[in-house]
């Protein structure tokens, strides 16, 4: 029941954030059934494969449960080449350059909107993905902001960019100083960063992760198009630059191993780090924070490249991933919420009740909803970030 409330909250909040253009997509003669349609179309009896039994997937690191790709290979006889990218910027550059060689890619919706508009992604072969019916209609509705008729994208997972802490080490480094009410102070306020640099501050290494949360911290629109806002964010960041030890998008081991006591990181990665630290015998408490002013939501979505050589194999894999048990496995092992409604029911109780994974509706309402970047905003973010990182 609670999940349902959250789903409704998600769609209400995100649709509200879309503004007036977000009328429900017209249902006029769709070529394929929409995701939420319960009626089973005349689906093929089994998966359809391409002649060449190969599938090339490009996904984020630490995002796929162990053994899942091998299970698909075994069942389908398809050889999967699985590569990873660390930032939306890196994936975007590949897609724009073309001939990626990849069939399935997993962009965040903040980038996917432009990729769809730019013709870089092809519509999903929905009639070959009957498990789309397992997706949460509320989540699919939120995706219409990037993909108006739910034709191109289906969630791999969602989550949020937030502050991760090794509470044990942070408390020690702060000496007698109390924890701030707003966890973003730990990474953006010199009063705190000057103390925490001794135990290691890490930032994700991507303009479109850091600049939106910096803008939000100083009270600006996270997706601003105003040059003055970028200037202000740059000025705020410059004050803490000398305290940041590490820029990385693969910092799970740095967090787990104690190299970074505080980070701007992805929620699930902090949860993975917490588990890894415990496995390694550490007694430190590692936590993904729910900052009082909210965190930056992302939706990462599976999509098929426009020149995919194995579009049928891609559909078969997507359908495989959308089986409830596989979606649940992702949440259980990677610490990110799934948008697969049927899968949620199979998530382990300790994961389902972890509020930093399946956040509660009242916190969700405080979060920064995804939007999309104009080219100018992306450029401003890159310039501001690069100047910050170089310390200029």
Span interacting with ligand N2P, options 49-57, 117-125, 170-178, 263-271, rule CB under 6 A: 263-271
| φ, ψ of residue 127 in degrees (nearest 5) | -70, -15
Place of tokens 């003669």: 29
Per CB under 6 A, 266 contacts ligand N2P: yes
Count residues contacting ligand N2P (CB under 6 A)?
Answer: 11
C-alpha to C-alpha distance for 214 and 218, rounded to whole angstroms: 7
372 to 167, 310, 342, 369: CA distances (angstroms): 33, 29, 28, 10
DSSP state of 368: B
Structural element, H or E, at residue 330: helix 324-334
Span interacting with ligand N2P, options 60-68, 124-132, 273-281, 341-349, rule CB under 6 A: 60-68
Residues 130-159 that bind ligand N2P (CB under 6 A): 159
373 to 113, 168, 208, 224: CA distances (angstroms): 9, 37, 9, 9
Residue 259 Cβ, how far from ligand N2P at the closest point, in Å? 17
Span interacting with ligand N2P, options 15-23, 130-138, 239-247, 266-274, rule CB under 6 A: 266-274
Residue 159 Cβ, how far from ligand N2P at the closest point, in Å? 6
In SS3 terms, 102-165 reads as CCEECCEHHHHHHHHHCCCEECCCHHHCHHHHHECHHHHHHHCCCCCCCCCCEEEEEEEEEEEE
Per CB under 6 A, 230 contacts ligand N2P: no
Residues 285-304 that bind ligand N2P (CB under 6 A): 298, 300
Residue 222 Cβ, how far from ligand N2P at the closest point, in Å? 15
Residue choice 11, 32, 47, 63 for contact with ligand N2P (CB under 6 A): 63
Residue 72 Cβ, how far from ligand N2P at the closest point, in Å? 19
Identity of the residue, 108 or 234, whose beta carbon is nearer to ligand N2P in the bound complex: 108
Contact 141, 15 (CB under 8 A): yes
Query: For residue 383, how many C-alpha atoms fall within 13 Å in the half-sphere facing its CB?
Result: 10
Place of tokens 């925490």: 196
Residue 266 Cβ, how far from ligand N2P at the closest point, in Å? 4
- Encoding tokens for residue 369? 């909803």
Identity of the residue, 160 or 192, whose beta carbon is nearer to ligand N2P in the bound complex: 160
Residue 52 Cβ, how far from ligand N2P at the closest point, in Å? 29
Q: What is the DSSP string of 213-254?
A: HHHHHTTS-TT---HHHHHHHHHHHHTTGGG--EE-S--HHH
Identity of the residue, 94 or 126, whose beta carbon is nearer to ligand N2P in the bound complex: 94
Identity of the residue, 186 or 265, whose beta carbon is nearer to ligand N2P in the bound complex: 265
Span interacting with ligand N2P, options 57-65, 321-329, 344-352, 375-383, rule CB under 6 A: 57-65
Residue choice 62, 205, 229, 287 for contact with ligand N2P (CB under 6 A): 62
Per CB under 6 A, 108 contacts ligand N2P: yes
- Give the strand pairing for 154-166 and 262-266: antiparallel
Using the CB atoms, write b or e for 161-185: b if 16+ within 10 Å. bbbbbbebbbbebbeeeeeeebbbb
C-alpha to C-alpha distance for 325 and 345, rounded to whole angstroms: 9
Strands (DSSP E) found in the chain: 54-59, 79-84, 104-105, 121-122, 154-166, 201-203, 246-247, 262-266, 286-288, 296-305
Per CB under 6 A, 269 contacts ligand N2P: yes
Identity of the residue, 150 or 206, whose beta carbon is nearer to ligand N2P in the bound complex: 206
Residues 159-198 that bind ligand N2P (CB under 6 A): 159
Span interacting with ligand N2P, options 20-28, 265-273, 315-323, 377-385, rule CB under 6 A: 265-273
Identity of the residue, 108 or 291, whose beta carbon is nearer to ligand N2P in the bound complex: 108
Residue choice 41, 44, 61, 67 for contact with ligand N2P (CB under 6 A): 61
Binding residues for ligand N2P (CB under 6 A): 60-63, 108, 159, 266, 268-269, 298, 300
């Amino acid at each position: 029941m609670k999940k349902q409330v959250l789903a409704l909250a998600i769609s209400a909040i995100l649709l509200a954030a879309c503004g007036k253009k977000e009328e429900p997509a017209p249902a006029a003669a769709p070529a394929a059934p929409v995701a939420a349609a319960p009626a089973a179309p005349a689906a093929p009896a089994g998966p359809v494969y391409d002649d060449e039994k190969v599938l090339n997937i490009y996904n984020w690191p630490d995002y796929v449960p162990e053994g899942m790709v091998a299970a698909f290979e075994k069942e389908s006889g398809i050889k999967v080449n699985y590569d990873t990218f660390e930032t939306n910027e890196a994936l975007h550059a590949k897609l724009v350059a073309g001939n990626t060689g990849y069939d399935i890619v997993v962009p965040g919706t903040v980038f996917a909107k432009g990729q769809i508009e730019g013709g870089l992604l092809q519509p999903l072969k929905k009639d070959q993905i009957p498990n789309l019916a397992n997706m949460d209609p509320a989540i699919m509705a939120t995706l219409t902001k990037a993909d108006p008729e739910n034709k191109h994208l289906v969630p791999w997972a969602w989550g949020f960019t937030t502050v991760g802490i090794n509470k044990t080490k942070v408390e020690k480094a702060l000496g007698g100083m109390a924890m701030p009410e707003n966890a973003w102070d730990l990474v953006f306020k010199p009063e705190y960063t000057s103390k925490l640099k001794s135990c290691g501050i890490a930032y994700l290494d991507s303009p479109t992760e850091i600049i939106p949360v910096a803008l939000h911290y100083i009270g600006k629109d996270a997706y601003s198009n105003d040059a003055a806002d970028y200037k202000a964010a740059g000025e705020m960041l410059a004050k803490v630059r000398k305290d940041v030890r590490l820029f990385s998008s693969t910092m799970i081991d740095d967090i787990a191993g104690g190299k970074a006591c505080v980070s701007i990181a992805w929620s699930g990665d902090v949860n993975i780090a917490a588990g890894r630290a415990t496995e390694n015998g550490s007694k430190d408490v590692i936590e993904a924070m729910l900052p009082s002013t909210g965190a930056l939501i992302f939706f990462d979505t599976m999509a098929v490249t426009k020149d995919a050589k194995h579009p049928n194999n891609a559909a078969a894999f997507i359908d495989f991933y959308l089986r409830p048990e596989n979606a649940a496995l992702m949440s259980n092992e990677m610490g990110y919420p799934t948008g697969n409604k049927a899968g949620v029911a199979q998530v382990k109780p300790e994961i389902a009740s972890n509020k930093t994974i399946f956040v509660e509706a009242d916190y969700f309402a405080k979060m920064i909803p995804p939007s999309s970047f104009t080219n100018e905003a992306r450029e401003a973010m890159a310039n501001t970030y690069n100047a910050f990182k170089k310390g200029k």
